[in-house]
């Protein structure tokens, strides 16, 4: 079975706790703190595997957890980091947050590796909290908690051209003739169950990838029949070929078929109906050359709208070259960039901002520093990579959105003053 959707649960690793201990050796009666740091929790990472073309594996296993970091130990021993968990997906997989449906990542184009959830940062051992006034700290930082998400995975095939049409109009026959794809072909009154992709190679012209998309029936936009299973696969295509039975061998009206498909596209996603289109009027081998009124009628209905019509026979190959070279020419005039779905859901921001733990902002007279503490602050620091530009921007947004900057200004902070958060110190500037 072709599997192009799956719902899964993922969880990163928890950070190991920092350790509280003191150096106790002969002749060293008052040894200082030597508690080690906890290890970092493992990340949840998605990687594109070119050898995969379905999401079948995720239908059988639905829960994926990275390893937790180990706790710190005595004698400054640091806990072992938890192992990452790597999930391999086919190119074109779109990762969404299950409840909201918002896009987290689109595993296509240059995005072949994506760290979805970062493991919790290991807690600092008590050795980090020794000061001139507190030489025997009995506090160690707990490890940052794991992050977890319910995900909806969707595979949207990556092709330049989508070949659409009602069942049994000859799409599979055309694909087998012009590409290296070998779809099953028979005179069935039901549709292909999975997209078939093939590469079209042309002399003296740029080739392209074409997809025979599962056949469409009316009501597809509402999920009838294969419905969304069909429609999601043409969201990436740059050009759509409507294939119709110009000979009406099964009594269907080719003009009404094209209108019906366009209605489904419009209702599912208005942008799809605006994509450039070409009509392939198939099965002309079943029409006498001097009696092609149906082809003329299709041209009269659509060519005034700028949609070219090519009479073809997928069986004999008649008219195929003209169709393919026209497609190649149209694609060469379009943007080469692949269609990539933009990120709408940011796990680090969404999961961190959802926390309601308290925090405090105060001024330490002795050290002359502004100190920000609390579980929410610890978690934010554990989730955020302050060495990256995106992470630092998130850090600044967190301080502003939670009213921390406002509280600092109320306390009278000035530019150049020092702000301390759990062993990290920053100079304050507006």
DSSP symbols for 166-207: STTSSHHHHHHHHSS--------SS--SS-EEEEEEETTEEE
Rounded to 10°, the helix 171-178/320-332 angle is: 80
pLDDT of residue 334: 85
Longest CA–CA separation in the chain, Å:
111
Tens-place pLDDT, residues 216-241: 555 444 544 444 556 777 777 889 99
CA 151/CA 10 separation, integer angstroms: 7
Backbone angles phi, psi at 302, to 5 degrees: -120, -30
Angle at 203 between CA 201 and CA 205, to 5 degrees: 80
Which residues have CB under 8 Å from 326's CB, separation 6+?
278, 308, 310
Instruction: Tell me: pLDDT of 191 over 50.
Output: no
CA 160/CA 327 separation, integer angstroms: 10
Average pLDDT across the chain, whole number: 80
Parallel/antiparallel/unpaired status of strands 5-11 and 148-155: antiparallel
Q: Give the burial string for 9-46 (b: 16+ CB within 10 Å, else e).
A: ebbbbbbbbbbbbbeeeeeeeeeebbbbbbbbbbbbbb
Residues in the chain: 430
Instruction: Tell me: pLDDT of 285 over 50.
Output: yes
Backbone angles phi, psi at 317, to 5 degrees: 90, 0
Which residues have CB under 8 Å from 264's CB, separation 6+?
216, 218, 219, 220, 221, 231
DSSP symbols for 291-326: --HHHHHHHHHHGGGT-EEEE--TTT-TTHHHHHHH
Instruction: Tell me: pLDDT of 132 over 70.
Output: no
pLDDT of residue 183: 43
**For residues 183-205, average pLDDT:** 59
Instruction: Tell me: pLDDT of 193 over 60.
Output: no
**For residues 339-348, average pLDDT:** 79
Radius of gyration, CA atoms only, the chain = 30
Tens-place pLDDT, residues 37-86: 999 999 999 999 988 877 888 888 899 999 999 998 888 889 899 999 99
Tens-place pLDDT, residues 292-304: 788 889 999 999 9
Instruction: Tell me: pLDDT of 151 over 90.
Output: yes
Instruction: Tell me: pLDDT of 116 over 90.
Output: yes
The share of the chain scoring above pLDDT 70, in percent, equals 82
Q: Do the beta carbons of residue 320 and residue 177 sit within 8 Å?
A: yes
Which residues have CB under 8 Å from 98's CB, separation 6+?
7, 149, 150, 151, 152
Strands of 230-307, DSSP E? 239-245, 277-282
The share of the chain scoring above pLDDT 90, in percent, equals 20
pLDDT of residue 388: 62
| Neighbouring C-beta atoms of residue 176, cutoff 10 Å | 18
Helical residues (DSSP H) of 198-253, grouped into ranges:
228-231
Instruction: Tell me: pLDDT of 184 over 70.
Output: no
pLDDT of residue 225: 44
Cα→Cα distances 321→137, 267, 281, 327, Å? 80, 33, 14, 10
**For residues 315-324, average pLDDT:** 88
**For residues 11-22, average pLDDT:** 90
pLDDT of residue 307: 92
The end-to-end CA distance of the chain, in Å, is: 58
Instruction: Tell me: pLDDT of 255 over 80.
Output: yes
- Three-class DSSP labels, 94-134: EEEECCCCCEEEEECCCCCEEEEECCCCCCCCHHHHCCCCC
pTM for this entry:
0.63
pLDDT of residue 227: 45
**For residues 107-120, average pLDDT:** 89
pLDDT bracket for residue 316 (50, 70, 90): confident
Residue 369's nearest CA partner among 320, 427, 310, 330 is: 427
pLDDT bracket for residue 408 (50, 70, 90): confident
**For residues 188-212, average pLDDT:** 69
Tens-place pLDDT, residues 366-387: 888 888 888 777 767 665 666 6
pLDDT of residue 168: 78
**For residues 268-294, average pLDDT:** 82
CA 334/CA 87 separation, integer angstroms: 34
**For residues 5-13, average pLDDT:** 92
Q: Do the beta carbons of residue 66 and residue 107 sit within 8 Å?
A: no
pLDDT bracket for residue 16 (50, 70, 90): very high
pLDDT of residue 187: 38
CA 356/CA 343 separation, integer angstroms: 25
Instruction: Tell me: pLDDT of 308 over 90.
Output: yes
pLDDT of residue 65: 95
Backbone angles phi, psi at 425, to 5 degrees: -120, 140
């Amino acid at each position: 079975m072709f599997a192009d959707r799956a719902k899964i649960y993922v969880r990163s690793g928890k950070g190991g706790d920092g350790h509280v201990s003191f150096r106790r050796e002969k002749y060293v009666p008052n040894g200082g703190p030597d508690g080690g740091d906890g290890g970092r929790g493992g990340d949840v990472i998605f990687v594109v595997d070119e050898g995969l073309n379905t999401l079948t594996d995720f239908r059988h296993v639905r829960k994926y957890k990275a390893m937790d970091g180990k706790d710190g130990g005595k004698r400054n021993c640091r806990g072992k980091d938890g192992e990452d968990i790597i999930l391999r997906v086919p190119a074109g997989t779109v990762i969404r947050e299950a409840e909201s449906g918002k896009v987290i990542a689109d595993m296509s184009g240059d995005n072949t590796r994506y760290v979805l959830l970062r493991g919790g940062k290991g807690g600092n051992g008590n050795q980090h909290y020794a000061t001139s006034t507190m030489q025997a700290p009995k506090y160690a930082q707990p490890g940052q908690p794991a992050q977890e998400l319910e995900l909806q995975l969707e595979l949207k095939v990556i092709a330049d051209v989508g070949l659409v049409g009602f069942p049994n109009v000859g799409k599979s026959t055309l694909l087998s003739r012009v590409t290296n794809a070998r779809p099953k072909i028979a005179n069935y009154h039901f549709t292909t169950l999975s997209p078939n992709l093939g590469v079209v190679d042309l002399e003296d012209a740029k080739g392209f990838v074409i997809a025979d998309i599962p056949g469409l029936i009316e009501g597809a936009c509402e999920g009838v029949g294969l419905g969304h299973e069909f429609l999601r696969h043409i969201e990436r295509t740059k050009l759509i070929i409507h294939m119709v039975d110009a000979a009406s061998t099964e009594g269907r009206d080719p003009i009404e078929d094209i209108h019906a498909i366009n209605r489904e596209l419009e209702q599912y996603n208005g942008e799809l109906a605006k994509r450039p289109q070409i009509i392939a009027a198939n099965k002309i081998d079943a029409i006498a050359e001097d009696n092609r009124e149906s082809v003329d009628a299709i041209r009269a209905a659509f060519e005034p709208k700028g949609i070219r019509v090519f009479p073809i026979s997928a069986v004999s190959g008649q008219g195929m070259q003209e169709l393919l070279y026209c497609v190649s020419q149209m694609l060469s005039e379009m943007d080469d960039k692949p269609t990539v779905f933009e990120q709408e859901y940011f796990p680090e921001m969404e999961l961190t901002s959802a926390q309601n733990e308290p925090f405090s902002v105060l001024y330490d007279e002795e050290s002359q520093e502004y100190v920000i503490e609390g579980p929410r602050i610890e978690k934010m620091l554990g989730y955020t990579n302050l060495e990256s530009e995106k992470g630092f921007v998130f850090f600044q947004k967190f301080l502003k959105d939670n009213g921390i900057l406002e509280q600092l200004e109320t306390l009278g902070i000035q530019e150049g003053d020092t702000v301390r958060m759990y062993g990290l110190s920053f100079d304050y500037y507006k």
